[in-house]
Amino acid sequence: MTHRPKWRALSAYHAGALGPDGRRRVEQHLATCEPCTAGLARIEAYDEVARTVRAQRTPPMAARLGAEAAVVASLAGEVRNQPNPEVPETLGAKAAALTGVFAEAANAETPVLDWAAIEAGVFAAGAAQAEPVGPKEREGEHEPKWRALLAYHEGALSDAGRARLEAHLASCRVCQRTLASMGTYDEVADALQRSTPEVAFERIEPSLRRASRRPHRGRWLATGAGVLAAAAAFALLVRPAEPSVPVATSEPVAEPLVEEASPLTATVVAVGGDVRVAGRAVDLGAALDETDAVTLAPDAAVHVRLASGTGFALAGAAELALSRLRDDGIELELRRGRVQSQVRTGTPYSVRAGPYVVRVRGTRFEVRREGDDVAVTVDEGVVEVLRDGALVALLPAPAQWSSRDGFQSSPQGSVRAPWGLSLAPSEGADVQLAPTDRLVRWEIGGATFVAAGGLAMRAPPGPLALTAIDAQGRRHDATVEVAAEGALVEDTVVLPEEQPSRRGTLRPEDIQSVVRPSVARMQRCYERILRRMNPELEGSYALRVTVQRDGSVRRVRVVTDADAPPPFVACLETIARRWRFPSPEGGPTATFRLPLRFDVSAH
Amino acid sequence: MTPKSLDPLIARAQAGDEAAFQELFRTYRDTVARIVHRVMGPSHELEDVVQDVFIHVFRSIGKFRGDAKFTTWLYRLTTNVTKMHLRRKRSRPRFADVPVPESRPESAPVEQPDAAAERKERIAALYRLVDRLSEKKRTVLVLHDFEGLPAKEIAEIVDAPVLTVRTRLFYARKELYATLCEEPALAASVESLLGARGKSKTEAPR
């Protein structure tokens, strides 16, 4: 095996950059190594040439160029004759480059050459190409001295070691870069250590609490009204008999936790109109659990995020049960109406509609059910339709199939993705779109909502593009800026303010008779917020209510001097929107202000 | 929380004391969130994972015998649950990254928006590289370099000898250093350090 000259060590030796130990070792090696002795001779020869050329600051240029070119050519030729197969190309190229530089300089009026740069460049290229290549090194690449650099970086080297490494660093760009990478890594890791995650724990607690309501976990159900329900939920979750529960023992375990079906929590990311679960109105941000059933009024809509990138939208008079909500599978049961789903690839997801099961893994599709008739529209991906476990239809998008008519053509884009699937529960701000009878529907991000019932949705802070469709079918576009604390959007963002007209009035006793039965429900809104979000919420509020000609509430707004949590505001507004008053007297509309005072000490 | 006051709390939780679970959650939720955040990096699934961790904690606490420190047990469970999520995440196609806001410590100086954005981008870039590491190397690197745990405790958490932890840490860092310049945001920092080094070659390292 041919021994190749230790170019880097020889260069350092020649430049006098080695310490006494290094110098002694190189000299000992030189005494017995012919290739290295020849290599050192070449370095000295080059140095001499370079010095000679540097010394010749005056013309004659042609003579100088000729002499230099001859020397360089001779040097290159000498090197080419060496047995080392990796050297000739490198130094040949080096010689050619050097000759080119000389020629260029010769042609210039004032020959100014940066000799130091040329020399450094030539030697760096030569050394990098020609130095011994270790098993882990590739041609043309110096392997950084990892351990030495780490020790140096951590200040763990002795003075002598540090001096040696610094001598090496002075000429090694690769190690310099590696050292700089270490510094950069430390900098970012430090920044990361200082960063703290922002987690809305108040959203997690209710989810854990809700888990307690599942029948098979009833053992630890809360026993006293004074005990927070959250604590009960935690207790339920420790029930040891739970099947397929991963167990972390107090001893280190070699195997990681077995991946098992963790429960998912569905989150309402947009809700408009009357949407209920078990008779209770659903608010924006509400968490839905396995076995919950969602029921919608004819004008209502709800968009639900099940997991990142996966969710469904219900609209119209629909009813749907969340039969199974686990990370290894989601099963929905459509009892009536239609459900549009977006499913992230890889998520086992099925919708049961009567005797049919529509099964997918990552797609966008819609299932409609009217009585026993089931129709499926696929806009993306492929779905399977099964009945009694047998495949009835395989539908690649775009496709439509119905249990009555079989396959039908379907235009692409007929199924819209639900709103807000990419928003994590902690992200986004609450956007309230006030109910209005001046508009028929809102279109936001491909989702459609009936305008009359109002809408609450989660949206990322920033501009939010809205399109409103009025009773004449005209489209009105607007962009509202959603602040971090949310936004309240009135129909005036797309329609001009109505001309002031004669104001009507309502008799105070009529107002009281309608409002009084709702006081207890408003109180429950408050207590719910106390429990879930802010145990110290207090403040003065007022509801500003506009009643229209037929006695229904046209607009309601919560006016407050306090920081009102959006779910609390939405809860109050939902109650107020259902009020029915006598027709206003003396004008088409009447507006009144209802003061409310909530005080935590009363609880 | 000191171990002295912790033991009765865990015992109460193991006995099914409902209030103890709530206290346990409130005591350790920041720790768990921090570890999940460190292991996962910027993610919109942070809350989902934190919630999942606590569900596992509450289900498994009856098995905790106190042979190890509770925090070690908690770290182990948290990293295992987070790794499960990462495995699932890797099996899914990547969607557009959703930037996750990070809160600033109360005492931290006010940062200019540009600087904050750059810092976030550097952290996100670092996590893109960390994502390329094997799970074992990633865990050790995150717990040691980002979370600041000593190798001995990491050895207990990952159930490996201390020497193995150090080896994994060395190779994890080496892989990161070698690929750092592939991320433009980090390459710029490297170049600026190189420039600074060029100006002051005699400056000693830390």
pLDDT tens-digit readout, A350-401: 999 988 999 886 678 889 998 888 999 888 888 888 888 788 888 877 888 8
DSSP state of A516: G
Question: Mapping DSSP to helix (H, G, I), strand (E, B) and coil, where does residue A223 land?
Answer: coil
CB contact under 8 A, A238 and B159: no
CA distance A594 to chain B (A): 38
Lookup: tokens for A111: 């020959």
Break chain A into its structural domains and give their ranges. 7-143, 201-237, 267-408, 429-493, 508-602
Q: Is the pLDDT of residue A38 over 80?
A: no
CB contact under 8 A, B24 and A234: yes
Q: Is the pLDDT of residue B13 over 70?
A: yes
CA distance B16 to chain A (A): 6
Has domain A429-493 been given CATH number 2.60.40? yes
> What pLDDT digit, counting tens, does each position of A445-454 carry?
777 788 777 7
- Mutate which: B9, B12, B22, B38, vs A, most A CBs within 10 A: B22
For strands A487-489 and A429-433, give the pairing: parallel
- Number of H-type helices and E-type strands within chain B: 9, 1
What would the mean pLDDT of B92-116 be, rounded to a whole number?
A: 43
Query: What pLDDT is stored for residue A351 in this prediction?
Result: 93
Question: Mapping DSSP to helix (H, G, I), strand (E, B) and coil, where does residue A164 land?
Answer: helix
**Residue scoring higher pLDDT (A99 or B18):** B18
Query: What pLDDT is stored for residue A127 in this prediction?
Result: 39
Residue among A201, A246, A345 whose CB faces B92 most closely: A345
Q: How far apart are CA A213 and CA B179, in angstroms?
A: 50
CA dihedral A484, A490, A495, A500 (to 10 degrees): -140
Q: How far apart are CA B1 and CA B106, in angstroms?
A: 21
CB contact under 8 A, B194 and A176: yes
**Burial of residue A280 (number of CB atoms within 10 Å: 0-12, 13-18, 19+):** exposed
β-partners of residue A433 are A455, A489
Architecture label for domain A267-408: Sandwich (2.60)
Q: Confirm or reject contact between B186 and chain A (CB < 8 A).
A: yes
Instruction: Name the H helices within A108-158.
Output: 115-130, 146-153
What would the mean pLDDT of B142-157 be, rounded to a whole number?
A: 87
> What pLDDT digit, counting tens, does each position of A160-214 carry?
888 888 888 888 888 888 888 888 888 888 777 777 777 777 777 766 655 433 3
Residue among A231, A246, A345 whose CB faces B21 most closely: A231
B contacts of A342 (beta carbons < 8 Å):
none
Q: Which phi and psi (to 5°) does residue A127 adopt?
A: -65, -40
Query: What pLDDT is stored for residue A138 in this prediction?
Result: 41
Of the segments A309-323, A499-513, B188-202, which one has the largest average pLDDT value? A309-323
**Residue scoring higher pLDDT (A231 or A422):** A422
A contacts of B17 (beta carbons < 8 Å):
235
Q: Closest Cα partner for A541 from A520, A555, A517, A523? A: A523
Query: What pLDDT is stored for residue A159 in this prediction?
Result: 80
Residue among B59, B93, B159 whose CB faces A238 most closely: B59
CB contact under 8 A, A252 and B68: yes
Query: What pLDDT is stored for residue A295 in this prediction?
Result: 92
Residue among B50, B67, B158 whose CB faces A251 most closely: B67
Q: Is A389 left (phi over 0), alpha (psi -120 to 50) or beta?
A: left
CB contact under 8 A, A427 and B46: no
Question: Mapping DSSP to helix (H, G, I), strand (E, B) and coil, where does residue A275 land?
Answer: strand
Cβ-contact A366, A398 below 8 angstroms: no
CB contact under 8 A, B103 and A246: no
Long-range (24+ apart) CB contacts under 8 A made by A522-530 are: A522/A571, A522/A572, A522/A575, A522/A596, A525/A568, A525/A571, A525/A572, A525/A575, A526/A568, A526/A598, A527/A603, A528/A571, A529/A565, A529/A567, A529/A568, A529/A571, A530/A600, A530/A603
What would the mean pLDDT of B124-141 be, rounded to a whole number?
A: 88
DSSP state of B143: I
Question: Mapping DSSP to helix (H, G, I), strand (E, B) and coil, where does residue A235 land?
Answer: helix
Q: Which phi and psi (to 5°) does residue A113 adopt?
A: -120, 140
Q: State the number of CA atoms in the 13 A half-sphere of B137 facing the CB.
A: 16
Give Dmax (Cα) for chain A: 117
Rg (CA), chain A: 39
**Could you count the other beta carbons within 10 Å of the beta carbon of residue A151?**
17
- Mutate which: A154, A192, A342, vs B, most B CBs within 10 A: A192
Chain B CA closest to residue A259: B84
Query: What pLDDT is stored for residue A353 in this prediction?
Result: 92
Q: Confirm or reject contact between B25 and chain A (CB < 8 A).
A: yes
Lookup: tokens for A145: 């001295």
Lookup: tokens for B107: 């005492």
* Residues sharing a CB contact under 8 Å with residue A20, sequence separation 6 or more, in sequence order: none
Q: Confirm or reject contact between B182 and chain A (CB < 8 A).
A: no
The residue type found at A176 is Q
Cβ-contact A297, A273 below 8 angstroms: yes
* Residue A395 vs residues A89, A358, A387, A407, B70: alpha-carbon distances, Å: 62, 10, 14, 9, 52
CB contact under 8 A, B190 and A222: no
Q: How far apart are CA B115 and CA B118, in angstroms?
A: 5
CB contact under 8 A, B18 and A231: yes
A contacts of B98 (beta carbons < 8 Å):
422-424, 427
Query: Can you give the pTM of this predicted structure?
Result: 0.36
For domain A508-602, give the CATH number. Answer: 3.30.1150
For strands A356-370 and A382-387, give the pairing: antiparallel
Lowest-pLDDT choice from A2-16, A56-70, A310-324: A56-70
Cβ-contact B85, B40 below 8 angstroms: yes
What would the mean pLDDT of A7-28 be, rounded to a whole number?
A: 80
* Residues sharing a CB contact under 8 Å with residue B29, sequence separation 6 or more, in sequence order: A199, A201, A204, B50, B54
Q: Which phi and psi (to 5°) does residue A110 adopt?
A: -115, 105
Assign A334 a pLDDT band (cuts: 50, 70, 90): very high
**Burial of residue A413 (number of CB atoms within 10 Å: 0-12, 13-18, 19+):** exposed
Q: Which domains does chain B have, with CATH numbers?
A: 1-91 (1.10.1740.10), 113-199 (1.10.10.10)
Q: Confirm or reject contact between B134 and chain A (CB < 8 A).
A: no
CB contact under 8 A, B194 and A170: no
Query: What pLDDT is stored for residue A254 in this prediction?
Result: 32
Query: What pLDDT is stored for residue B135 in this prediction?
Result: 86
Q: Is the pLDDT of residue A237 over 60?
A: no
A contacts of B133 (beta carbons < 8 Å):
none
Lookup: tokens for A424: 């994590």
* Residues sharing a CB contact under 8 Å with residue A190, sequence separation 6 or more, in sequence order: none
Q: Quick one: angle between helices A34-55 and A115-130, nearest 10?
A: 160
**Residue scoring higher pLDDT (B9 or A68):** B9
Instruction: Name the H helices within B131-183.
Output: 135-141, 151-158, 162-179
B contacts of A531 (beta carbons < 8 Å):
none
What would the mean pLDDT of A274-284 be, rounded to a whole number?
A: 83
**Residue scoring higher pLDDT (A582 or A539):** A582
- Mutate which: A146, A162, A166, A188, vs B, most B CBs within 10 A: A188
Q: Is the ipTM of this complex over 0.90?
A: no
* Residue A9 vs residues A25, A27, A28, A46: alpha-carbon distances, Å: 10, 11, 13, 16
CA distance A344 to chain B (A): 8
**Could you count the other beta carbons within 10 Å of the beta carbon of residue A173?**
12
* Residues sharing a CB contact under 8 Å with residue A365, sequence separation 6 or more, in sequence order: A340, A341, A343, A358, A376, A377, A378, A379, A380, A381, A383, A395, A397, A415
A contacts of B34 (beta carbons < 8 Å):
196-197
Percentage of chain B with pLDDT > 90? Answer: 2
B contacts of A153 (beta carbons < 8 Å):
205-206
Cβ-contact A455, A272 below 8 angstroms: yes
Q: Is the pLDDT of residue A256 over 50?
A: no
For tokens 């080096």, the residue is A94
Q: Closest Cα partner for B176 from A576, A467, A184, A497? A: A184
Q: Is the pLDDT of residue A320 over 90?
A: yes
Q: Is the pLDDT of residue A126 over 50?
A: no
Q: Is the pLDDT of residue A444 over 80?
A: yes
What would the mean pLDDT of A501-520 be, rounded to a whole number?
A: 82
Cβ-contact A365, A380 below 8 angstroms: yes
* Residues sharing a CB contact under 8 Å with residue A40, sequence separation 6 or more, in sequence order: A5, A10, A13, A14, A30
3-state SS track over A194-209 = HCEECCCHHHHHHHHH
Residue among A197, A245, A327 whose CB faces B33 most closely: A197
Peptide bond connecting A411 to the previous residue in cis, omega within 30 degrees of 0: no
Lookup: tokens for B14: 């193991």
B contacts of A265 (beta carbons < 8 Å):
48, 51
Assign A312 a pLDDT band (cuts: 50, 70, 90): very high
CA dihedral A598, A600, B1, B2 (to 10 degrees): 180
Lowest-pLDDT choice from A124-138, A447-461, A526-540: A124-138
Percentage of chain A with pLDDT > 90? Answer: 3
Rounded mean pLDDT of chain A?
Answer: 70
Chain A CA closest to residue B40: A197
Q: Is the pLDDT of residue B60 over 50?
A: yes
DSSP state of B69: -
CA distance A200 to chain B (A): 7
Q: How far apart are CA A119 and CA A17, in angstroms?
A: 16
Give CA angle at A199 (B107, A246), nearest 5°. 130
Q: How far apart are CA A19 and CA A5, in angstroms?
A: 20
Q: How far apart are CA B29 and CA B10, in angstroms?
A: 15
Residue among B24, B37, B180 whose CB faces A185 most closely: B180
* B residues 38..97 contacting A (CB < 8 A): 38, 44-48, 50-52, 54-68, 73, 76-77, 80-81, 83-84, 87-88, 91-93, 95-96
Q: Closest Cα partner for B119 from A190, A194, A197, A191? A: A191
Chain B CA closest to residue A203: B47
